[in-house]
C-alpha cells in the first residue's frame, strides 16, 4: 500500500515528526525556540498566509519573551527560568565585604593605577627596550666602551615622557571608563611621544643648517590656554602649589608643560580617592545610625562612634 499512500497522501503523512519517539518529540517541542504544529501543514497555503502572525503580534511576542543575562549561552531565552535568581559574583562579593575591605579596595586601586601606568609606558617603549637588549647581548666596540649609554638614555627618555603623557591624559583616572577608551589614551600618548621626537629632529636640523628654529605648540595645552568651557574647576592649595613649583624646577624647560599637567592629574586622582573614602565613611555612619535606631548597635559601633565624636569636637 506504499504506492497508494504516495498518490493519496493522508493528512497524517504530512507531519515530518510522525516517526520520532514520543518522548523525543515532546522534548523538541518544549525546548525549540520555533514552535511546530502539525496542523499547520494540513492547511492550504492560502489559509497559512491568513494565519501568519502580524508584525504587531511578533513584536508583542518578542516583548514578552524571557530575558536572560549575557552569561547565558542561549540568548533566545531558553532556560530563562534558571537565570531568574542569578546575580554576578562581583555584585555578591561587593555586598558581603566589610567596611575595612571596601576602604582597602579604594586604596589598593590607587596603588594599582600607578603600577598600570608604568606597564603601559613600558608597552609604548617596547622598541627602545629591544634596542637596549640587543646592545647588551651583542654590542659593537663603541657600544661596549660606552656601556650602551645611548640606548639606555633613549629608553629612559621614552619611559619618563610616556609616563608623563599617560598621567596628563588621564589614563586610568576614572573607574567607569571602558578598556577600549583606556587603550585609546595609551595609543594617543604614544602618538604624542613620536610627534615630539619628530619635532626635536626638525629643531636639530634647523640648528645645524643655520635656519630659524621652528616653534611648536605644546603637546598638551595648559589648562589656562584651553577654552573656558573645557577647563575643569580646579584650584590648588598652597601646599600643592609649592609641591608643583619644587617638582617643576627639576625638569627641563621643554618638558615642564607635560610634567605640570601630569602633576595636576596626580592631584586630581588623589582628590578622587579622598572623595570616595569620604563617601564610604558617610555610608558607614548612616548604617551605624540605622543599627542604633533599631537597637542593634554593636560594640564596634560604640567604639567608632566615640572616636568620631571626639574627633568632631
pLDDT of residue 308: 57
Query: Does pTM top 0.85 for this prediction?
Result: no
pLDDT of residue 112: 82
Domain assignment of residue 258, yes or no: yes
Q: CA 255, CA 87: separation in Å to the nearest integer?
A: 49
Q: DSSP code of 100?
A: H
pLDDT of residue 229: 40
Q: Decide if pLDDT at 152 tops 90.
A: yes
Domain assignment of residue 21, yes or no: yes
Q: CA 284, CA 272: separation in Å to the nearest integer?
A: 18
Q: How much is the average pLDDT of 160-182?
A: 86
Could you tell me the CA-to-CA distances from 190 to 163, 182, 184 in Å, in that order? Answer: 10, 13, 10
Domain assignment of residue 151, yes or no: yes
Could you tell me the CA-to-CA distances from 271 to 245, 248, 280 in Å, in that order? Answer: 19, 21, 14
pLDDT of residue 78: 76
Q: Decide if pLDDT at 195 tops 50.
A: yes
pLDDT tens digits, residue range 269-292? 888 878 888 888 888 788 778 877
- The number of CA neighbours under 13 Å toward the Cβ of 120 is 27
Q: 114 and 247 share a domain?
A: yes
Q: 21 and 149 share a domain?
A: no
- Please give the share of the chain, as a percent, with pLDDT higher than 70: 65
Per-residue pLDDT band for 166 (boundaries 50, 70, 90) equals very high
- The number of CA neighbours under 13 Å toward the Cβ of 162 is 23
Q: CA 198, CA 32: separation in Å to the nearest integer?
A: 62
pLDDT of residue 225: 46
Domain assignment of residue 202, yes or no: yes
Least confident of 37-46, 143-152, 290-299: 37-46
Q: 125 and 24 share a domain?
A: no
More confidently predicted of 141 and 49: 141
Domain assignment of residue 228, yes or no: no
Rg (CA), the chain: 34
pLDDT of residue 39: 47
Expressed as residue numbers, the domain containing 249 is 109-220+237-267
Per-residue pLDDT band for 113 (boundaries 50, 70, 90) equals confident
Q: 119 and 34 share a domain?
A: no
Structural domains counted in the chain: 2
Q: Are 156 and 179 in contact (CB under 8 A)?
A: no
3-class secondary structure, 35: coil
Domain assignment of residue 114, yes or no: yes
Q: CA 194, CA 263: separation in Å to the nearest integer?
A: 22
Domain assignment of residue 168, yes or no: yes
Domain assignment of residue 51, yes or no: no
**Quick one: residue 138, left, alpha or beta (phi over 0 = left, psi -120 to 50 = alpha)?**
beta
Q: Are 192 and 161 in contact (CB under 8 A)?
A: no
Amino acid at each position: 500500500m506504499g504506492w497508494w499512500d504516495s498518490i493519496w497522501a493522508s493528512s497524517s503523512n504530512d507531519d515530518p515528526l510522525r516517526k520520532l519517539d514520543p518522548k523525543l518529540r515532546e522534548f523538541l517541542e518544549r525546548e525549540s525556540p520555533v514552535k511546530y504544529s502539525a496542523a499547520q501543514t494540513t492547511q492550504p497555503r492560502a489559509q497559512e498566509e491568513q494565519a501568519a502572525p502580524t508584525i504587531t503580534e511578533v513584536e508583542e511576542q518578542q516583548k514578552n519573551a524571557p530575558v536572560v543575562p549575557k552569561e547565558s549561552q542561549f540568548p533566545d531565552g531558553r532556560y530563562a527560568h534558571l537565570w531568574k535568581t542569578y546575580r554576578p559574583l562581583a555584585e555578591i562579593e561587593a555586598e558581603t565585604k566589610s567596611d575595612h575591605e571596601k576602604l582597602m579596595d579604594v586604596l589598593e586601586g590607587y596603588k594599582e593605577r600607578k603600577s598600570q601606568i608604568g606597564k603601559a609606558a613600558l608597552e609604548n617603549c617596547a622598541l627602545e627596550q629591544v634596542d637596549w637588549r640587543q646592545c647588551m647581548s651583542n654590542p659593537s666596540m663603541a657600544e661596549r666602551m660606552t656601556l650602551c649609554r645611548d640606548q639606555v638614555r633613549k629608553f629612559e627618555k621614552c619611559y619618563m615622557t610616556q609616563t608623563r603623557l599617560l598621567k596628563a591624559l588621564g589614563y586610568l583616572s576614572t573607574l567607569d571608563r571602558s578598556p577600549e577608551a583606556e587603550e585609546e589614551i595609551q595609543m594617543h600618548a604614544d602618538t604624542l611621544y613620536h610627534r615630539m621626537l619628530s619635532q626635536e629632529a626638525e629643531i636639530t636640523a634647523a640648528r645645524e643648517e643655520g635656519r630659524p628654529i621652528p616653534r611648536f605648540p605644546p603637546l598638551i595645552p595648559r589648562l589656562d590656554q584651553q577654552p573656558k568651557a573645557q577647563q575643569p574647576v580646579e584650584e590648588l592649595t598652597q601646599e600643592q602649589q609649592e609641591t608643583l613649583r619644587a617638582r617643576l624646577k627639576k625638569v627641563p624647560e621643554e618638558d615642564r608643560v607635560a610634567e605640570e599637567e601630569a602633576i595636576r592629574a596626580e592631584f586630581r586622582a588623589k582628590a578622587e580617592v579622598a572623595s570616595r573614602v569620604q563617601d564610604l565613611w558617610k555610608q558607614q555612619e548612616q548604617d551605624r545610625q540605622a543599627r542604633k535606631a533599631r537597637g542593634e548597635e554593636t560594640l564596634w559601633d560604640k567604639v567608632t562612634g566615640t572616636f568620631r565624636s571626639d574627633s568632631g569636637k
